Amino acid sequence: MARTVVSTDKAPKPPANIPLSQGIRKGNILQVAGQTAVDPATGAVVAGGVAEQTEQVLRNVIAILAAEGGSLDDVLMLRVYLTDTAHFAEMNDTYARVIGEPFPARTTVYVGLPAGLLVEIDALAVLGD
């Protein structure tokens, strides 16, 4: 079974110097690469704090899922990477509002991200029945 690169203009393209795909599909499994708060229309990080960034990140994840006919209903696992433990509650509130129940499994870890980025999220989805 071949791997298929997933790409959409509705999510930011990876920088040219970073060797990754927006997503990879193999069979009915889709792995969405870590998405950041870059607006695909402008190429810039969205203004605001962790709430605004979390919403944009999730929009980017949703766009990549949709490129393969998927949605949040297909997501088994989301991994959230935050730069500051103080951002957890605000990220969590935005996450809950955007994702909705039933919530997929989730892991949240604290990491260093490039300047200006507060959150990154990747997703693992199983498409179809």
Q: What is the mean pLDDT of each run of 10 residues along the chain (129 residues)?
A: 94 88 97 97 96 98 98 97 97 97 97 95 93
pLDDT value for 129: 65
Distance, CA of 92 to CA of 50 (rounded, Å): 10
pLDDT value for 16: 77
In this prediction the pTM is 0.96
Terminal alpha carbon distance of the chain: 18
Distance, CA of 129 to CA of 123 (rounded, Å): 18
Q: In whole angstroms, how far apart are CA 88 and each of 27, 54, 58, 83, 95? A: 34, 11, 15, 9, 10
pLDDT value for 128: 85
CB 89 within 8 A of CB 43: no
- The domains located in the chain, with CATH, are 3-126 (3.30.1330.40)
Q: How many residues in the chain?
A: 129
Structure tokens given for 52: 């605004």
